[in-house]
Each structure stands twice: as C-alpha cells, then as structure tokens.
Homo-oligomer: A and B are copies of this chain.
Amino acid sequence: MTEVTKDLYQVKEKMYVATDCIIFGFHEGKLKLLVFKRRVEPLKGEWSLIGSFVRLDEDLEVAGKRVLKEATGLENVYMQQLRSYGKKDRDPGYRCISVAQYALIRIDDYDEKLVEEHGAKWFEIDHLPLLILDHNRMVHDALIQLKQIARYKPIGFELLPEKFTIPQLQILYEAIYQRELDARNFRKKVLSLNVLEKLDEKDKSTSKRGAFLYKFNYENYQRLLKSGYNFEIA
C-alpha cells in the first residue's frame, strides 16, 4: 500500500465494516435460520440477518459473538467466519464491507424473550423469505460451506441437545444434506467413529419403543483427529 493510495483513501468518505450473523438451528426435523425484522431505515420492516458495525476496539470474531449474544443470549457457541462481501454498491446507504459469520445453536437453548424483542423468527432453510441486500447470497454460501464442513467435522452435534438419539442425528444430517440417508449405514458409520457414548436412558417422545440416548465424547474426537482422521459422515 503506497502513500498515494493512502491519501486517496483518506480524502474520500468513510468505509464501514459490519458483520452479519447467519444463525442456524435445528428443530422438528428441520434445519432453520434465525431471521430478523429490520428496525431502522432504510429497508425498515424487511427481513434481514442480524448484524452490527465492528467496533474500533473490538476483534472481528468478538463482534460476531457480541451480535449473537445480543440477539439470542447465547455464549460459547460454535461460530465460524464465512467470508466478506464487498461489492461497492452492496448497501445503498453506506460504503460497507460485511464479514459474514455463521453460528450453529441448539435451538432449545436460546433466550426466546430476547429473540422476540428483536422481532426475530425461525424460518425453515428451504422456505426463507426474501432478505435485504446480499443476505440471501450469504445464507446460500454458508449452507454450501456447512455441507462441506459437516463431512469432516462433527458440527452436527452443535445443533442438537446434549443428549440425542441416533435417529435424531440422522434427521439432522438429512436436513443439512437435503437428501435421505440409509438408517443402517448411517448408524454403522457414526458408531464406528467411537465418538458417541451410549447412555442408559431412552427417549420415548417419538416412538413407543424408545431410542437410546447418546452424548458426544469430545476427548475421543480429539484423539481421532490426531491419529489421522478418517472422520467423514454421509
């Protein structure tokens, strides 16, 4: 970056840096996205991702976590930067670059009141409304990356409650990949990874017989990763 460039930059108007959060959840067998009704002009009343300007004294990731917490009350959530969107005319109001970050949350953990205050709503991933600006594009890109990453990281577990059944896990993966999976093969595969701990309880909410509950074993997952992972689901 030359001195010339720097001067040119400084005489012009301001560059804004924002971050937008793509918040995924999972509920009733569907992958969902948390969408917000915009409170300020322009585009007031339109559906939108939730975002904020990045503060000068704030790390980029911290800004994402702050936004997420303000909206849902949640902390210590799986969050990952997607990429930045920087078309010069992407926002009619400002010259604004947005860093998109996506989060996976356990949908029954979040603070429902807080979410309501923000005028937010969960939408099924394949029935999203029209969002402002390039937000639909962001979600689309995030979904692609989610599918990719789900192949070699156990991110699926971030979206389920601590205890879950194998059929539940399967339905989640089916929602992410948007296709059906074979129950026998799926069970075989995930159990062969040795990262699930079978519990003595059953969940009887979905069948008379009941399905055994499992929980994720993070230590085994770490060991698996180190010893040359062949971790890959579906």
Contact = CB atoms under 8 A, between A and B. Distances in A.
Contacts of A63: 86
A227 interface: no
B1 A56 contact: no
A9 B56 CA distance: 7
Given A15-B15, A56-B13, A83-B81, A1 B99 contact: no
Contacts of A40: 1-3
A118 to B, nearest CB: 10
Number of copies: 2
A53 B17 CA distance: 13
Contacts of A85: 60
Nearest to A52: B1
Contacts of A147: none
Contact of A15 (B2, B3, B12, B16): B16
B86 A55 contact: no
A204 interface: no
A46 B61 CA distance: 28
B87 A99 contact: no
A54 interface: yes
A75 B81 CA distance: 28
Contacts of A88: 56-59
A1 B18 contact: yes
18 contacts: A5-B52, A5-B55, A6-B53, A9-B56, A12-B56, A15-B15, A17-B17, A17-B97, A54-B86, A58-B88, A59-B86, A59-B88, A60-B86, A61-B86, A63-B86, A83-B83, A84-B99, A97-B99
The 10 residue pairs across chains A and B that have the minimum distance between CB atoms:
A60-B86, A12-B56, A9-B53, A1-B52, A84-B84, A56-B95, A15-B17, A59-B88, A84-B99, A59-B87
